[in-house]
Structure 1
């Protein structure tokens, strides 16, 4: 089916769209705060407050509709193009086994499943966008606040702080921008009370649906080829619990009992980018021997020193993700503070901090011998800092 790098690239366009939506909503609030600061008279503020909140509600609705429209189109593309191309990769195996491959679009059972999964995923996306907001610390606790309420509290709080002289505009702007970029646009699960980044929640929903379809295709192909065996692929930087079973051949039952297929932490589970393919003894050839797998895993687990610490390949990639997340936050802060007209001297400090993190990222990646993933940082679509 698909290789690990292809699976990892599947959510990229959706992640970019969610990041753009997040930035647009944050920027809209910053612009409204800046506009409210120009209304010095309390009477004028009271007259304009409801208008500004009404306009923000309308802007949020339109922005989320844009996101949902894009996500529907992106899902259609992924399921028709990406899955269609992966589907025909098994043709050589079909030919070697003397079995005719049903064309992707003519496989009615598969198309029915794809339609149902797309509908389910689309519904999940809409639920996510209906429960969005920001999280902020109140009396030492992290409290989730729905988007419209956060707008209202931010605007009212900013005006109160300014009119009472508690804080100046620059301090107010930094506080609100810091809150938003630290939290990120979030969705809440009211059953558990936990909130999640919207980008993570939508990526998880997309990959869950996609992986369900991949699993169904694999089962169908194996059934047509009369095999009960599958080869799980191998990729660098796999988490330790996945490393021990990647790259080998298993029966369908073993995919569940050994690899954890169907569980959140197993094969095709949350943030898993492994794939597996039907394996026909006598016709298929393994990608790696047991000896090769043992050596590759040993190389991955050999620690590399860096500034007093040691990192395996997996630990190094996790540190990379942390630095990438920090750079995305810093980029958001810089762009939002620029839009809000923050103090120029302080802006220089923010830019210098970003450049320092970027240099650290370069140095660390080179020391670890792992490729940089700058696309994870620039997925926000913001211009060069």
Structure 2
């Protein structure tokens, strides 16, 4: 029996074997669900911020008490830094210029720079630091500060820090110094910085980006000078904020408020150091995203100089003795003076006349300082020394570490 082929297809005519799918409908629905999730997340974030604000207002007094207690415990000792045998205060601006450039290159938070300088000063308060290790200690402090409070994707690596130091130090030296800084400070890294107190003061009024940038600029200028190393961050933040508002002609805070309780003496000292800031710092704050506050300060100082010249016109004809304009003294306010190391013969902190020095053992090669001071107790750890001292004698120093080279009388 022959098979009979039907003349008409059973299910109708079809030009293709593929059927149109509903992927477009599913994509629209998935996009709608994702949009709903995004809106829900924003709503939850708004609720969380509101709850955080209410909680912060409730515990604000306890938070402030804790921060002020912590800042008192984590302050460096200026007298111990004064009696360092090799590093001196005139070397500090060179190292800070390097740290400011590294901080800007890695786009770290403002509080990271203040914390790094605090760690550096606290370490120098407890250990003898050689000139050849000064930059290494600064890099270790910056690395610790970035790991402590900054974003993980912006924390510098040892390879990057080594490149910035022109391969002056080995990888193991960075790791060894980082561990030694933490051990010296008893792993107490938390320090309320100037930026932290500044944010609390700015939260009391409407946000003004220019005032914040100006206050940060003034606070970073203060890092370069010895007289502000012993100033508490809370007082320094309020004083820098008061000076920033004065420069920008903003309304000052009420003296009864926390932000208005600034130190007039520190404000005057800060204003005296505005005339000749670091070029690296001035270029940093000349950018638009930082409100070009360094240019604003220059214009303010020019106006003040013009006002002073007009007010200096004598009411009576000057005598022969007063025709010559008086010259500023060495400690005058016209510009920052190079800090000099002083000598203290009195009993210092912990009863030590000099900070602890490098011990004599096979781990640390440089022991000349230890031989010169055998009376120093061994209860204080010391600055580590690289394992390859012979390789350090012919190393070319990087541009920012010129201060590390020996000084000749």
Same fold (TM over 0.5): no
| TM-score, length of structure 2 as denominator length | 0.23
What is the TM-score when the length of structure 1 is the normalising length?
0.24
Which structure is larger by alpha-carbon Rg, 1 or 2?
2
Higher strand share: 1
Structure holding more helix per residue: 1
